Structure 1
C-alpha cells in the first residue's frame, strides 16, 4: 500500500499556500497514517516513521502561522491493535485533537490532571462557525469548545462572558433545531426531553436571576442533555429484533436447501416444512416482534409454493444442477457477497455488467459443448469438437456479439455516484431546457428515433407472427394504442424543449402525459379482458393447408387437435386456419410490455430514451440466446419449457443491470425528481401520492419491466422456434413443436407449473440479494459508511424487491388468464367443429 504519494503531494503545495493571504480556511488531508495503520498496525516501525513525519509537519506549520490563525490537527477515527476501525470500541472511536494558535490563551479545564480535555467531533462544527463569524449550521448538535475562546491578554471575567455568549448562541440554535425536528412527528426520548424542557424553562424564566457562571453551567447542561438524547434515539439498534428476523430468514433458506436435496415423500416433506415454519413463526406472535411473525408466514407460504413446484415439476436431484447452472449460481453468490463490501456497492454497476457478459458467454458456450457431446461423442474433448457453421450457431454467435456491444454501450447512460471520482457526468441526465439550443434538436430527434424503434420493433414482431390480423378489438388496440401514446410522448418532449413562458401552450403542457397515463391504463384493463390476438379465417375463406403467409404465420390446428375435435369416423375436412395461433400466449404479454415501455420512456426523460432502447435490445438478445441454448440441449417438451437456473440468473442479473442503465444509483441524491412533474405542474392538491408514485416508477422501471416480461422466459423457445424453424433444427419434431405456444393448450398443468416455478424462483433470487443487503447493514451497523452506502443500498434493494414481487405476481396472473382464455377458445372450436 502506498504510504507517501498523497502526503508528499500535499507537502509540495502546503508551504506555498501558507505564504498566501487569499484563504480563510485551509484543509490538508494526510492519508499516510491511515494507510500505514491498515497495512502494518499501530506498533510497526513504519508507523513510528510516519508519525515522526507528521510531527515535523505540525511543528513547521505551527511556527509559520500568524496570531489570528488557529491550527487544528485531528483524525476522523482511531484504530484497533490490528489497525482496523469501523466498530464502537474505545480505541476506534477515540482520536486526538491538537489545537494551537499564537493568539489564544488556552488553559486546560483541569490543570494538573493527567487526563486531557475531551470533546466530541461534532463540537468542532460550532467552534469553527463562531471563529469564522458565520451562523452555526441548523442541524448541529455539538457544543462549542470553550478552551478555544480565550485570547491572550483578556481577563477571566471577559473570557467567561465570551464563553456564555457563545454558548447562548449554541443553545438557541439547538433549541430551534429540536423544536422543528419534533414538529414533523419524529420520535424523541421522553425522559430526556422532559429534562430538556425543564432546563429550557429555567434558562428562559430565571435567566436574569442567574449569575454568569450559573448561566454557563445551565447552557452546558442543556447542550449535553440534548446530545445525549439524540444519541439515544438515533444510535439505537434493536439487536434482538434485527437478529430474530435474520435468524428466521436463515432458517427458512436452510430449509429450502434441505428440502431440495431431500429424497423423502413430497407430501410428507411439505407437511413437515409447513408445521416447522408455523411453529417457528408462532414463537414471535406474543412478543414485541409480532411483525416478524407476519413476514415469516409470508416467506413460508412462498417457500412452500416454491418447493411444491420444485419437487413436482423439476423432480430435483443432484444431477439436475449441471455445470452451466452451477457457474450461474456461483456468479450470483458472488454478487450477493458483494453487499458486504462498501467498495463493491460503490462500483456495483461495473461488476454487474462484467458478471452479465461472463454468464452469457459461458451459458452459450457450455450449451454448445453439451450439444456437441450429445450429438457426436460420449466423452467430450476439445480436439473432438467440430464447429459447424449452421444457421443456429451463427445466429447465436451474433446475438452474443449484439449483447456484448449493448452492455458495454450502456455504460454511457450510467449516473455517477459521489464516490466515483473518475466518473464523468453525462449530459443525458440534463433536462432538455438546460441544454444549449444547438444540442436540443440533436437530442430530441435521437430520443424520438429510440421511441419509434421501441414501438415499431414489437409491432413488427407481432405482424410477422400474424397476431395483428383481423378486426378483433384487442388487435385494434394493440395496433394503434402504442402508436398514439408514442405521439403523445413526442409532443410532451417537444413542449419541454420549447420556451413556454407567457405562451398559451404552457397551460396544456401536462395534457400529453396525462393522456398517455389514461390510455395506457385503459389498454392494460382491456387486454386483461380480451387478451387473444388471433384471427380465425372463416370457413368459406379457408384455403387449405398453409404454413407461411406474407402477412404472418398461419399455423393450423394439427392432426392431434383434429383427432380431439372429431371422432375417427368423421368425414369433416373443414380444418380451421388461424393467424397468430403459434404465438397466442406471448403476443398479449409483448403488447403489454410495449405499452409500458412507452410510459417508462416518458418518465425516464428524453435523454434516457436511448438507454431504454439499449436495455430492450440487451433483453431481446438474452431471449434469443436462451431460446437457442434451450433448443440445443432439450430432450423433450418438458425440458424445453423448464427454464434453467442459468436463464433465471441471467434475467436476475439483467434486472440489476437495468437499474443502472436507466440512470439510477442506490443513493437518494440520484433520484430523478423531475419524474414527479411529468403530467403535473407541482400543485398536487395537498397529496404527495402521485409524485411519489411517479418517482418510484422511474426509479424501479427496470424491476417493473423485467418482472412484467418474466413469462417470456418460458415462452421464448417456443415463439422463436416457430418463427424461425431453422434455428431449432430437426429436434423434437415428434412433439410437433411447429405448433408453437398452442401446444400449451394440451399441457395446461405443465405450463402453469413452469411459469409459477419461474416466478417464485426469480423472486427468491431477488430475496437472497435483499437478505444479504440487510445482513450487511446489520453486521456493519457501526461501519463508517453504514449511512452513506450500506443503509441506502439496503433500502433500494428492499423497495425494489417489493416492486419485483408485485410485477411478477401481476405478470403470472396475466399469463394464466391468457392461457385460460386460449383454452376456452379451443374448446369452443372443438364444439363448433364436432
Structure 2
C-alpha cells in the first residue's frame, strides 16, 4: 500500500525535475569558448617588451578601498590605510606607479575571475557552479602565451591556478596550497612568502614570470568580516610582504598587484554588488617609467568613478583590461578571446602617444578577428542583432591617419572595443526561448496535474489506493509513449529548434504525455469538485506570494512580505477560536495561535540584508553587517536553547500522554546531547575565530569542535535512527491483576496503554526531531534559536489544527440532529476528514520564513560557506558541498518533512481498517499539498523571469530567485518522498506496532 502513495509522489517529483531542467537549459546558458590561439607567427601582433620579467601578486578579495588613498567615510581602522605602500609610491613616483579600481564581472568567484584576468573573456551566470572543482582553461590565455613563448612561470599559492593551468608552470617552481580551508588564515600566505622571497633573492634563478596568490585577506573576510582586528593584522602582513618584494625587485621586473574580486560588508563575495565587483590593481615599475612626464592623455580615455561612500573619484578600468595590457607589456600576443582594452597610462611612453596608438590598434584588430571568428562559428547567429552596428563602428576607424587626427582614431578604436564588450555581455545573457517554453509547459501542466491529484484524493476517500494502482499504469505507460513521440518530434523539428537535443526531446515528450494523461484521467464525477465556490476558496496567501515575483521591489523585500502573509494565514483559525462551542477549545485555539504568532515575530527579528535593502535594513543574524560572528545575546542563549528545546517538545507530547516509550529516551538523552554538541561546536568556533584563548590553542579548539560536530551528527544517525526504527512507538503499556466481578475469588489481567490517542503523530514527531538534530550543527548559532522557535511554532500549529477539527466535528455532530454520535470512537478523529489546504499554508510559508530567518537571502553572497567545514577542517568532497546545501535548503526540507504531522497528530490506530486508509490518504495529500505550494512559487518565478528577462535586474534579482525556487522544489519533493518512504509509509516496525487489533 505504501508503494502506491510513494509512486504518486515520485511521479510529481519527476515532472518537476523535467520542467526545471528544460527551463534552466534555456534560461542559464554557457557561452561558446573558441579554442583558437593568437600565434603571431609574423611577429607583427605585439610590441617590444618594456620589462624582461614580471611578478604578479594576487591578494584574494583585495577590494579597491583597501588600497585607496581616499577611502569611503567613515574610515575603518581595520582595513583602510593599512596597506599603504601602493599609495605612497604612486604619490612619490607618478610615472612609475599606477593605482586603479577594476570592475570584476560577476560571478565574483575566484575561478571565474582568474579566467577573466588571464584570457580577457567574460563568464556567464551559470559559470559560478564550477568554482568548486573547476576544469582547465582551454581558451587562449596570458599563461598559455607565456608557455608558447618558452617562458618559465613560477607559481605559489591558491591551488586553483594549478587546476586550470595543470601543465603551464615550471614543476621545480610550483608550490600550490589548498584554497578552500577558510579557517586557515596563514598557511597559504606564509607559504607564498617562504617561496617568493628566496626566488627574488636568487639573481641567477631562471624564471620569467612569478605568480603568488595570497588567500589570508579573503579567509579573514569570510570568517570574521572586514571590520575585525585580525583583518588589520593580515593587511599589515601583506604590506610588509609588498615592501620586501619591492626592495628585492630589479629594474627589469614589472610588479603587478591585484585583487581577483572584492568582498561585501560582511566579507563574502560571489554576486554583483558594488563591494564585490570592486577590485584593486597596482602596477609598479622600478626601472623604466611607463608614463611620459609630459603626456597629455585625452579625458575620454580616462574613465573615473566614485567608490561608494568616497568623495574623491578614482581611475576605473575593467578587470579584463589587464589581459591585453600585461601581454603587450611583456612582448606577448593578446589572447585570442580577449574583449578587454589596453590601459592608456601604461603605454604612453612618449609625449605623442605613438606606442599607445600601436597598442590600441593591435587590440582593436584582435577584437575584430575574434568577433569575425565567432560570427563564423556555430553560435554566430547570436550576433545577428548587433552585427551591423559593430561593422559600422569598425568602418569608422581609419588606421592610417595623420598625427593630428590621432585623437579621433583613439576614440573610434576605444568605442569599438567597448561596444564589442557591451554586445558580448548582452550576448551571453541571451536566452533559448524554445527550451524555456518547453520547460514552462511542463511546469504549467505539472502544476495543474498536481492540483487535480490533490483535489481528487479528497473525493476518492477510501478508494484512493485502488485508483492510484490504476493511475500508476496510466502514467507509466504514457511516459514511454510520450518518449516515443518525443523521439519522432526530435527527428522532424530539431533542426528548427535551437538547442533541442535528443535527451531534451525524450524528456519533454515523456513528462508532457504523462501530465496530460493524469489531467484527463479524472472520473466523470470529479469535475464537479471544481466549482465556483472552490475557486473562491483558493488560498489567498499562495496567490499573493506567487504575485510577489512579478516585481523586483517585492522580490527584494520578500522576507518582510512572507512575515505578513504568515501571520495573516492563521486568521481563519483565530476566527474559529472565537466561535468555539466550549471554553477549553476556545482557549486552546487562541492560546496556541498566539504562541505561533509570537514565534513567527521573534523569528523575524533575525535578518540578513540584501544590498538592495540598504539603508532600510539592519543585520541581526550576525553581530553586524561587517562582522559575521553571532550576536553576544545569542552566544548566551545557545546552550540553554539546546537543553530547553527537547523539554518543550516533551511537554507538547505530554498533552496526549505520548511522552513515553522511545520519546522518553530520545527527548531526555539523544536529542539534548545532539543539540548541545551542535551548539558547542559553534560556540567554540566563535572563540577560535576571535582568538579569545590565544592563537596557540587554535589547533586544539579545531580538533575539539570537530569532535563535537561528529558526535552530534553521528549520534543522531546511529543511535537515534536505530532506536526509532526498532522502537518507534511512544507508548507505555502496563498490566495488572484486578478482581473479576463475574468470577468471585478469581482475577483477570487489565492492560493499560498510555499515549494511544497520539500513536501516529508522536512516532512521526520523534522521526522529525532527529532530522532537526541533524540540521542543528549545520546551522550557525543564531539559526539554532530560530530552529527552536520553528519547532515550537509547528507544534503550536498542530494543536491549533487539532482543536479546530474538534470544533468542526462537534458542529457536524450537532448539526446532524444526533448528538449521541459524538460517543463513536472516530467521531472527532482528524482522519475522518480531508486535509484542508489552509492548514498546510502556514507550514509552507513557515519554511520560506525560516530560510530568511536562518541568515539566507536569494543572493549568492548569503551562502554560509562556514557550514562546509563543520565535520572536517578542510574541504572534503562530497561532504562539504552537502553540508552547505543542507545549511541552505535545510529549512525547506525540515518543514516539508513535518507536513504529514497535520494528518497524523492525535490520531489513534483504531481497529477500523478505514481509519488506516484515510490516514494514508491524508498523509499523501499533505505531501502533495506541500509540493504544490512550492511548485506554484516556482512556476510564478519562472514565468516572471521569462517575461522580465530583459529587465535590468534579471541577473541580480530574478535569476537568483528562480534558482532558489528550483532548488527549494527539489528539496521539498525529496523531503516529502523521504518522509513517506521512511517515516510513515514503509517503516515496518511502525506499521507492525501501529496495527493494534
**TM-score by structure 2 length?**
0.53
Asked if 1:755 corresponds to 2:944, the answer is: no
Residues 468, 475 of structure 1: 8 Å contact kept: yes
Over residues 168-214 of structure 1, what are the superposed CA-to-partner deviations in whole Å (9 max), with x where a residue is unaligned? 68999x99xx9xxxxxxxxx967889xxxxxxxxxxxxxxxx99999
CA contact (8 A) 1:536 1:576 kept: no
**Equivalent residue, structure 1, for 2:486:** 284
1:137 aligns with 2:137: no
Q: CA deviation at 1:613?
A: 2.1
1:808 to 961, 976, 981: 976
Contact 1:261/1:317 (8 A) holds in 2: no
- Match of 1:690? 879
Contact 2:729/2:990 (CA < 8 Å) preserved in 1? no
Query: Matched residue of 1:510: which SS?
Result: helix
Which residues in structure 2 correspond to 1:247-286 (within 5 Å)?
A: 247-254=441-448, 282-286=484-488
Tell me the alpha carbon deviations over residues 641-691 of structure 1, each in whole angstroms, 9 at most, x when there is no partner.
42101112222222222211222111111111121122221243xx3x222
Residue of structure 2 equivalent to 1:502 = 696
User: C-alpha distance in 2, partners of 1:336/1:544?
Assistant: 65
Does 2:713 align with 1:517? yes
Give the superposition deviation at 1:334: 2.0
Bigger shift: residues 481-490 or 220-229: 220-229
Q: The residue matched to 2:569 in structure 1 has which SS?
A: helix
Structure 1 residue 339: Cα displacement = 1.4
User: Deviation of residue 593 (structure 1)?
Assistant: 2.3
Residue 653, structure 1, aligned to residue 845, structure 2: yes
The answer to whether the Cα contact below 8 Å between 1:593 and 1:708 also exists between their aligned partners in 2 is: yes
Work out whether 1:619 is the aligned partner of 2:619. Answer: no
Q: What is the rounded CA distance, in whole Å, between the counterparts of 1:302 and 1:523 in structure 2?
A: 42
- Deviation of the 1:164 alpha carbon: 3.2
Tell me, in whole angstroms, the C-alpha distance in 1 between the residues paired with 2:402 and 2:71.
32
Distance in structure 1 (CA, Å) of the matches to 2:453 and 2:703: 61
What does the per-residue CA deviation read over 1:507-555, in whole Å, with 9 as the maximum and x for residues that have no partner?
333110011121122245415632422456464x35699xxxxxxxxxx
Matches within 5 A, 1:632-647: 632-634=807-809, 635=812, 637=829, 640-647=832-839
The Cα of 1:464 is off from its aligned counterpart by 5.6
Match of 2:122 in 1: none
Structural mapping, 1:263-662, within 5 Å: 282-286=484-488, 287=490, 288-289=500-501, 290-291=503-504, 293-294=506-507, 297=510, 317-318=528-529, 326-327=536-537, 329-365=539-575, 367=576, 390-430=583-623, 440=632, 442-462=633-653, 465-467=656-658, 469=660, 476-477=665-666, 479-498=668-687, 499=692, 501-503=695-697, 504-523=700-719, 525-527=721-723, 529-535=725-731, 537=733, 539=735, 541=736, 574-634=749-809, 635=812, 637=829, 640-662=832-854
Change (3 A) 1:542 1:667: farther
- Aligned with 1:669 (options 861, 868, 881): 861
Following the alignment from structure 1 to structure 2, what is the Cα–Cα distance between the partners of residues 699 and 677? Answer: 14
Helix, strand or coil: the match of 1:419?
helix
C-alpha contact (below 8 Å) 1:676/1:691 kept by paired residues = yes
Task: Give the secondary structure class of the aligned counterpart of 1:414.
Answer: coil
In the other structure, the counterpart of 1:206 is none
Cα distance in 1, alignment partners of residues 365 and 317 from structure 2: 13
| Contact 1:488 1:512 (C-alpha < 8 Å) held by counterparts | yes
Offset of 1:763 from its aligned partner?
0.8
- Equivalent pair of 1:648/1:762 in contact (CA under 8 Å): yes
State the 1:713 CA deviation: 0.7
C-alpha distance in 2 between matches for 1:327 and 1:816? 30
Q: Tell me by how many angstroms 1:227 deviates.
A: 3.9
- 8 Å CA contact 1:149–1:163 kept in 2: the answer is no
Structure 1 residue ranges without an equivalent (≥5): 1-21, 27-102, 108-118, 179-187, 194-209, 373-386, 546-570, 720-739
What is aligned with 2:433? 239
Deviations 1:209-240 (CA, angstroms, capped at 9, x unpaired): x9999999999899589748945861332111
Cα distance in 1 for partners of 2:625, 2:315 equals: 41
Take 2:739 and 2:676, find their aligned partners in 1: how far apart are those partners?
41
CA spacing shift, 1:786–1:762, aligned 2, 3 Å: same
Does the 8 Å contact 2:548/2:554 carry over to 1? yes
Q: CA 1:213 to 1:639, structure 2 compared with 1: closer, same or farther past 3 Å?
A: farther
Q: 1:521 to 1:745 in 2, by over 3 A?
A: farther
How far 1:343 sits from its partner (Å)?
1.3
Higher relative contact order (CA 8 A, sep 6+): 2
The structure with more strand, counted as a fraction of residues:
2
Report the 3-state secondary structure (helix = DSSP H, G, I; strand = E; otherwise coil) of the residue aligned with 1:602. Answer: coil
C-alpha distance in 1 between matches for 2:625 and 2:696: 19
Deviation at 1:257, TM superposition (A): 6.8
Measure how far apart 1:755 and its partner are: 0.9
Question: d(CA) in 2 for partners of 1:220 and 1:793?
Answer: 36
Judging changes above 3 Å, is the alpha-carbon distance between structure 1 residues 124 and 332 closer, same or farther for their aligned structure 2 residues? farther
Q: What displacement does 1:760 show?
A: 1.7
Q: Is the 8 A contact 1:514 1:679 kept in 2?
A: yes
SS of the equivalent of 1:576 reads strand
8 Å Cα contact 1:450-1:610 kept in structure 2: yes
> 2: CA distance between counterparts of 1:531 and 1:307?
43
Match runs of 1:16-165 below 5 Å? 136-138=318-320, 144=341, 158-165=352-359
The counterpart of 2:938, out of the listed 770, 786, 804, is 770
How many residues align? The count is 614
Q: Check conservation: 1:468, 1:479, Cα contact below 8 A.
A: no
CA-based RMSD: 5.2
Which residue is equivalent to 1:799?
967
Contact 2:713/2:777 (8 A) holds in 1: no
In the alignment, what sits opposite 2:870?
678
Partner SS state of residue 699, structure 1:
helix
Contact kept in structure 1, 2:851 and 2:891, CA below 8 Å: yes
Alignment match, 2:115:
none
Shift of 1:332: 0.9
CA distance in 2, matches of 1:579, 1:304: 47
Q: Residues 744, 760 of structure 1: CA spacing in aligned structure 2 closer, same or farther, 3 A cutoff?
A: farther
CA distance in 2, matches of 1:149, 1:127: 19
**Alpha-carbon distance, 1:431 to partner:** 9.5
* Alpha-carbon contact 2:893-2:972 (below 8 Å) kept: yes
Per the normalisation by structure 1, the TM-score is: 0.62
